[in-house]
Amino acid sequence: MPERTPSMRQRLLVWVAIPLLALVLINAWASYRAALQTAQTAYDRLLVTAAHALADLIWLEDGELQVTLPHAALEMYADALPGNTAAAERSPLIYRVSFLDGSFLAGEAAIPPYQGLPAFDNGHAARLKLYDTELHEQPMRMAALWQPVESAQGLQYVVVQVGEYAAHRYAIGRQILWQNLWQQSALLLLVLLTLWVGSTMTLRPLHQLARRLEQRKADDITPLPEQQAPREMQPMVQAFNGLIARIGLARQQQQRFVADASHQMRTPLAVLQLHAEAGLKGDISAQEALQDIARTTQRTTRLIHQLLMWNRAQQTAHAAADTVDLCALLQDVVVEQSPLLAQKGLDFALDAQPVTWHGEEWMLQEIVMNLLRNAITHTPAQGALGIRLTLQEKAVAICVWDSGPGLSPQMQQELFTPFVSESHQGVGLGLTISRDLAQACGGSLVIRNRVVQGKIAGVDALLWLPHTARA
Question: pLDDT tens, 167-218?
Answer: 877 887 788 888 888 888 888 889 888 888 888 887 788 888 888 888 888 7
Domain 235-315 has CATH 1.10.287.130: yes
Residue 385 is classified by DSSP as E
CA 284/CA 256 separation, integer angstroms: 38
Q: What is the mean pLDDT of residues 114-121?
A: 58
Question: pLDDT tens, 20-31?
Answer: 888 888 888 888
120 vs 62, more confident: 62
Question: What CATH class has 322-466?
Answer: alpha beta
> Do 272 and 298 form a contact (C-beta atoms < 8 A)?
no
- Res. 68 pLDDT band, cuts 50 70 90: low
Residue 425 has pLDDT above 70, yes or no: no
The per-residue pLDDT for 3 is 63
CA 209/CA 228 separation, integer angstroms: 10
456 vs 88, more confident: 456
Question: pLDDT tens, 437-454?
Answer: 888 888 999 999 999 988
Question: pLDDT tens, 227-281?
Answer: 777 777 788 888 888 888 888 887 887 777 777 677 667 767 777 788 788 888 8
**CB neighbours of residue 385 within 10 Å:** 22
In 331-416, which ranges are E strands? 347-352, 356-359, 384-391, 395-402
Is the C-alpha dihedral spanning 314, 315, 318, 321 positive or negative? negative
Least confident of 82-86, 378-382, 409-413, 446-450: 82-86
Q: Kindly give the interhelix angle for 286-315 and 430-440, rounded to the nearest 10 degrees.
A: 20
The per-residue pLDDT for 379 is 93
**Widest CA span of the chain, in angstroms?**
165
What does pLDDT average to over the chain? 79
Residue 301 amino acid letter: T
149 has which bridge partners?
Answer: 156
| Cα angle: 357, vertex 359, 363; to 5 degrees | 115
Q: Which of 331, 329, 340, 349 is nearest to 302 (CA)?
A: 340
Question: pLDDT tens, 34-53?
Answer: 888 888 888 888 888 888 88
| Cα angle: 23, vertex 191, 232; to 5 degrees | 105
Domain regions of the chain by residue span:
8-175, 235-315, 322-466
- What percentage of the chain has pLDDT greater than the value 70? 82
Q: What is the mean pLDDT of residues 82-92?
A: 47
Question: What CATH class has 8-175?
Answer: alpha beta
